Amino acid sequence: MDKSKRAAIIAGNWKMNKTQAEAKELISGLIPAVKDAGCTVIIGVPFTDINVAVEMTKGTNIHVAAQNCHFKESGAYTGEIAANMLTEAGVEYVILGHSERRQYFAETDETVNLRTRAALAAGLKPIVCVGETLDEREAGNMEAVIERQTVGALKDISADEMKNIIVAYEPVWAIGTGKTATADQAGEVCGLIRSIVAKLYGQAVADALTIQYGGSMNPKNADELLAQTDVDGGLIGGASLKPLDFAAIVAAASK
């Protein structure tokens, strides 16, 4: 299928950065910088910046994502945020299963799946992250890890619900390290993810799925990564904190 028929999506992942005052400054810089984007633009902000982000981006082409949500609707889960709390606050997307959540906060394939289902049920669009560590890659286990994480995250999700899912391939060894996967490596694994989705849901669902690459994407390497047939966008950490860098990646995805 022609890649141009899939939505190109660039999402920023601010991680645990930006107070409300700093968020205001960053968003003020971003709004004019991405206003002519030819792709979908999302900013993934900390919970405390959601209100500021939703208010400031009203009437613009920027959409707001949260960086996690819980799988229960409410209850005794101290420190957690429910999916419907996010939709009520005006959030449209949610990043789930990020490797930092898996590594530092005990996320498993099962909890990523539960969160993904809860997010869909609340009307959020999940950006589901998968990716292997360096050890896993070097041991020759990349394919098995990607398959296990992809199949695990999508358990009990219907073909219809897949329309609202984005998958991000984020090799753990390339995140925040300045080390980028080569365009060929990114293209190969995004293609592998598409083939796994095709096995689960059929080719039409797989062909319509937006698959992002994430891991040290920047204005210099974005063109080459995004030129890969199966790379439909990017999940951007460090470079999303700089309006001009983020805008340059958005421009690369808009071509």
CA distances from 245 to 34, 241, 252 (A): 11, 8, 11
Residue 94 in contact with residue 119, Cβ under 8 Å? yes
Of 82 and 98, CB closest to ligand PGA: 98
Q: Which residues bind ligand PGA (CB under 6 A)?
A: 13, 170, 175-176, 214-217, 235-239
Of 187 and 238, CB closest to ligand PGA: 238
Of 91 and 217, CB closest to ligand PGA: 217
Phi-psi region of 97 (alpha: psi -120 to 50; beta: other; left: phi over 0): left
Task: Give Cβ neighbours of residue 19 (< 8 Å, ≥ 6 apart).
Answer: 48, 49
Tokens for 11, please give them: 């999402």
What is the sign, positive or negative, of the torsion defined by CA atoms of 4, 254, 249, 19?
Answer: negative
Closest distance to ligand PGA from the beta carbon of 144 (Å): 22
Of 91 and 205, CB closest to ligand PGA: 91
Backbone angles phi, psi at 195, to 5 degrees: -70, -35
Q: What is d(CA 86, CA 30) in angstroms, rounded to the nearest whole number?
A: 22
Residue 169's closest CA among 156, 155, 180? Answer: 180
Closest residue to ligand PGA, based on beta-carbon distance = 237
Residue 57 in contact with residue 27, Cβ under 8 Å? yes
Of 57 and 180, CB closest to ligand PGA: 180
Residue 222's closest CA among 82, 16, 39, 25? Answer: 39
Closest distance to ligand PGA from the beta carbon of 171 (Å): 10
Say whether 98 is catalytic. Answer: yes
Closest distance to ligand PGA from the beta carbon of 152 (Å): 19
Set 98, 100, 107, 132: catalytic member: 98
Say whether 138 is catalytic. Answer: no
Closest distance to ligand PGA from the beta carbon of 40 (Å): 16
Closest distance to ligand PGA from the beta carbon of 140 (Å): 24
What is the sign, positive or negative, of the torsion defined by CA atoms of 70, 125, 116, 211?
Answer: negative
Catalytic residues: 98, 170
